Amino acid sequence: MSFSEQFIVHEHDVLVIGAGGAGLRAAIEASAAGLKVGVICKSLLGKAHTVMAEGGMAAAMGNVDDRDNWEVHFADTMRGGQYLNNPIMVEHHAKESPARVLELESWGAVFDRTKEGKILQRNFGGHRYPRLAHVGDRTGLELIRTLQDHGIHKGMEVFMEMTVVSLLTTGGKISGVLGYDRERGRMRIWKAKAVILATGGIGKSFRITSNSWEGTGDGHALAYQAGAELMDMEFVQFHPTGMVWPPSVRGILVTEGVRGEGGVLRNNEGKRFMFDDIPEMYKNQVATDEEEGWRYVCGDKNALRPPELLTRDHIARCINREIKAGRGSPHGGVYLDIAWIKEKLPNSAEHIQRKLPSMYHQFKQLAGVDITKERMEVGPTTHYVMGGVAVDGDTQMSCVPGLFAAGEVTAGLHGANRLGGNSLSDLVVFGKLAGEHAAKYAKNNAAVEVDQEQVLAHTNAIMEPFERTTGENPYGIQHELQNTMQDLVGIVRTETEMQQALVKLDEYKARVKNVSVIGHREYNPGWHTAIDLPCMLVVSESITRAALERKESRGAQFRDDYPDKSAECATFNVVSKKAADGSMQVTRRSIVPIRADLKAVIEKMK
């Protein structure tokens, strides 16, 4: 079969991989520049993981508390990220989020309202003022549907249920991508002048996760294999509140909005343990007693936040501590209680159902728990990766010419820990920037010829599992990998365990070369899993090596053998890059220097 018969070939100016919030926003922007734009989605359009976002999107609009502005949001984000963030990206984000929210409204989004008819904003962890524009607890659905319904009229070509297996480069520059469609298993080449990665996260490398099957770190691995750098990969966010019971729903997210609306955390002694451990940098931002915390939830401007609204990294560790100390709930979590507000509100059941409809539904249907009357059992779940492709803070381009990235697959905005609500705004702020700059790049650079040898080599590699008749089932390796990462590179890390993890990862790498799949190429999930595995391995190795390199505890990374922050480690980000011999090289890079005016903003907000 000739080359042209073997592959379906598409051609675009800008090609976006991923159709969550960042990908769709990028595609809309690039289309607006008058270019031919393609969007590849791993699932059906509108099903990407953005749909799972619940609590809201952070934007300093000041609709509920007029003391809020971009400077406060900037300082909150830097503090939450423990100052490893790229300040240029944090500045873009804090300044541009409000305009992105209004833009969504102009495209048909319907946010909850204040009494005055403005967009309502809610409290969330680490945000000084109520800042999250939201729609009950299904904000992600609103975001993705709005972008989808607007985007389909803007001329972009959408490729549903297709997966990219390799970025193609010629002379170090992007020339396109290689992938397959699920329906028929046909190989396809998308030639493109610029490629935007918007592939989301990596949660599937862990056993307990809030992420769907798609979160296999494809974009991270594609970028790495193409020569881009991965940064801050040691920072994996374990969301403090995932479901723990029944076992089949373990890890499914319980929105921080529950705590934003007054939900409290208790151990099996009934104690609100979060009051016991307030980090130094938040000492003057936390309520002194339960009463003050409730007043804050109700909007009293003179009250300080309850400790349940501290940052996620800290809360996840406190929960972990309670469980390990034997003060956990029967199924290995702690209690999250929103039902208690009935003491304060006469119509609490109705109020909870209106503010948290999905949570009510989710617990009622999956766990048989009525959250308006009973406590929930919750525990940490792998939720988000702060690390990702290193990009220029203004243009979102990686070190590979023509390769851009936006959203979760990118590093820089969140530093060592992401604040809840900063993800949805991240998607639209940086989706727009990536779309804009990729369009510029595509206009200023001619198409690069695709290297046919490269295409054939990658194609042969992914077909190999069909040729083996006696190899291993890919699901088995995936399962073991998830256990390794969960048990050895999880919330609490040590040198010894992570070294063990590296040995295991090497073993899986060897075994992946010997997986076999049955059946044919049409919609074959076993084959798809076999193709996802190498991506998961790159991501897992990068997380482990970066976590070993950072010999301190900061943000989402907690090292039992280095339990404190170190001044030295505050000066660098950890970068993974593929070396010439194919091995993973890990280096330290000085953090992006902060401009004097931005430094002054941080000082002012201390």
Among 2, 4, 117, 446, interactor with other proteins by CB under 8 A:
117
Is 550 noted as a catalytic residue in this protein? no
Considering the candidates 239, 317, 383, 545, report the single residue annotated as catalytic: 239
Q: Is 52 in the site for other proteins (CB under 8 A)?
A: yes
Least distance to other proteins from the beta carbon of 481, Å?
A: 14
137 near 358, Cβ under 8 Å?
Answer: yes
Among 479, 551, 595, 604, interactor with other proteins by CB under 8 A:
479
Cβ neighbours around 431 below 10 Å, total: 30
CA distance 393 to 413: 9
Strand partners, 15: 38, 195
The CA-based angle 238-244-245, given to 5 degrees, is: 165
Q: What are phi and psi for residue 164, nearest 5 degrees?
A: -90, 130
CA distance 260 to 177: 42
Site for other proteins in 513-542 (CB under 8 A): 517-520, 522-527, 529
- Block residue for tokens 């804009």: 436
* Residue closer to other proteins (CB basis): 102 or 303: 102
Q: Is 508 in the site for other proteins (CB under 8 A)?
A: no
Q: Give 157's contacts (C-beta < 8 A, 6+ positions apart).
A: 10, 12, 36, 37, 38, 39
DSSP string, 414-461: STTSPPTTHHHHHHHHHHHHHHHHHHHHHHHSPPPPP-HHHHHHHHHH
Among 34, 66, 108, 551, interactor with other proteins by CB under 8 A:
108
Least distance to other proteins from the beta carbon of 419, Å?
A: 22
Binding mask 88-107 for other proteins (x = CB under 8 A): -----------x--x--xxx
Q: Is 46 in the site for other proteins (CB under 8 A)?
A: yes
Q: Single out the segment in contact with other proteins by CB under 8 A; choices: 116-124, 274-282, 317-325, 407-415.
A: 116-124
CA distance 63 to 183: 47
Among 30, 35, 231, 253, interactor with other proteins by CB under 8 A:
253
* Residue closer to other proteins (CB basis): 305 or 521: 521
CA distance 575 to 234: 10
Q: Is 443 in the site for other proteins (CB under 8 A)?
A: no
* Residue closer to other proteins (CB basis): 35 or 119: 119
Q: Is 467 in the site for other proteins (CB under 8 A)?
A: no
CA distance 82 to 75: 10
Q: In what order do the strands lie in the sheet with 572-578?
A: 388-389, 230-231, 572-578, 584-590
Q: Is 299 in the site for other proteins (CB under 8 A)?
A: no
Site for other proteins in 170-209 (CB under 8 A): 183
Comparing C-alpha atoms, which of 394, 392, 422 is closest to residue 408?
A: 422
* Residue closer to other proteins (CB basis): 246 or 593: 246
Site for other proteins in 304-363 (CB under 8 A): 357-358, 361-362
Strand partners, 236: 385
Least distance to other proteins from the beta carbon of 510, Å?
A: 21
Is 259 noted as a catalytic residue in this protein? yes
- Total residues binding other proteins (CB under 8 A): 67
Considering the candidates 259, 305, 375, 521, report the single residue annotated as catalytic: 259
DSSP state of 578: E
The residue ranges of DSSP E strands in 43-140, in sequence order, are: 57-58, 121-122, 132-133
Q: Single out the segment in contact with other proteins by CB under 8 A; choices: 81-89, 272-280, 512-520, 592-600.
A: 512-520
* Residue closer to other proteins (CB basis): 120 or 442: 120
Among 14, 30, 35, 51, interactor with other proteins by CB under 8 A:
51
307 near 287, Cβ under 8 Å?
Answer: yes
Site for other proteins in 132-161 (CB under 8 A): 135-136, 138, 141-142, 145, 149-150, 152-153, 158, 160
Site for other proteins in 365-424 (CB under 8 A): 365-367
Q: Is 47 in the site for other proteins (CB under 8 A)?
A: yes
* Residue closer to other proteins (CB basis): 7 or 527: 527
* Residue closer to other proteins (CB basis): 203 or 263: 203
Residue 150: which H helix or E strand, with range? helix 139-151
Burial class of residue 14 (count of CB atoms within 10 Å of its CB; 0-12, 13-18, 19+): buried
Cβ neighbours around 581 below 10 Å, total: 6
Q: Is 119 in the site for other proteins (CB under 8 A)?
A: yes
450 near 170, Cβ under 8 Å?
Answer: yes
* Residue closer to other proteins (CB basis): 43 or 544: 43
Among 43, 97, 216, 417, interactor with other proteins by CB under 8 A:
43
Q: Is 503 in the site for other proteins (CB under 8 A)?
A: no
Distance of CA 151 to the CA centre of its chain: 22
Cβ neighbours around 160 below 10 Å, total: 17
Least distance to other proteins from the beta carbon of 476, Å?
A: 8
Q: What are phi and psi for residue 394, nearest 5 degrees?
A: -95, -40
Strands 37-40 and 403-405: unpaired
* Residue closer to other proteins (CB basis): 169 or 478: 478
380 near 413, Cβ under 8 Å?
Answer: no
Residues annotated catalytic, as ranges: 239, 259
The binding site for other proteins (CB under 8 A) comprises 43-49, 51-52, 99, 102, 105-108, 110, 112-113, 116-119, 135-136, 138, 141-142, 145, 149-150, 152-153, 158, 160, 183, 212-214, 245-249, 252-253, 357-358, 361-362, 365-367, 473-475, 479, 517-520, 522-527, 529
